[in-house]
Amino acid sequence: QVEQNDSHRFVQLGYKAVKEKALNKPLLGHLTKAGASPLRHLKEYRVPDTSEFELGQEIKVDIFSPGQLIDISGNSIGRGFAGYQKRHNFRRGQMTHGSKSHRLPGSTGPGTTPGRIFPGKKMAGRYGGKTVTVRKLTVVQVDTERNVLLVRGSIPGKTGNLLNIRPTNTVGATS
């Protein structure tokens, strides 16, 4: 638990117990100072009041309720180096009439002036593998026995991906 000078209150959560030798010394020192067991993943969450949490407390899915709206963040599926059409949904070029530009982007800039391609130009490159947040998903069921949350909608990433689940903080969202 951390309280900063600007009166924001945070709770730090950890996940996945590991052996001590799997962590570096600064992280291990941070955890032992707090009296926690060695954990692989740490994440801070801003909360209105830290008094309802104890050091070493286990937080389960029962903090969510059916019908509640949540936001889920995770790493999207990486698709490697992808071309213009796959990455940015560009249309393809002509297939006939002597065209040689079937899957090429077309023009990328004005020409001699400015003599460069402007930053942010949509081009081929790495596609996916970035943090994506899906907002306003509905909790369908909370299984406290198996500690499982059933959600209506798509979730970012592959099976087994580490997710960040929190209540929706969107204006106009009702749960």
In a domain, 123, yes or no: no
In a domain, 119, yes or no: no
- pLDDT of residue 6 exceeding 80: no
Note down the domain range covering 173.
Answer: 60-78+129-175
In this structure, the answer to whether residues 92 and 139 fall within a common structural domain is: no
Sign of CA dihedral 28, 29, 32, 33: negative
Mean pLDDT of 133-154: 96
Taking CA 31 as the corner, what is the angle to CA 28 and CA 35, rounded to the nearest 5 degrees? 130
What are the pLDDT digits (tens) for 73-111?
999 999 999 999 999 999 999 999 999 989 988 888 998
- pLDDT of residue 28 exceeding 60: yes
Average per-residue pLDDT in the chain?
90
In a domain, 121, yes or no: no
Rg (CA), the chain: 23
CATH code (residue 144)? 2.40.30.10
Taking CA 159 as the corner, what is the angle to CA 157 and CA 164, rounded to the nearest 5 degrees? 55
What are the pLDDT digits (tens) for 13-27?
998 999 999 999 999
Sign of CA dihedral 125, 129, 135, 141: positive
Q: What is the pTM of this model?
A: 0.80
In a domain, 122, yes or no: no
Kindly state the helix (H) or strand (E) to which residue 27 belongs, with its residue range. Answer: helix 25-34
Residue found under tokens 């996940």: 15
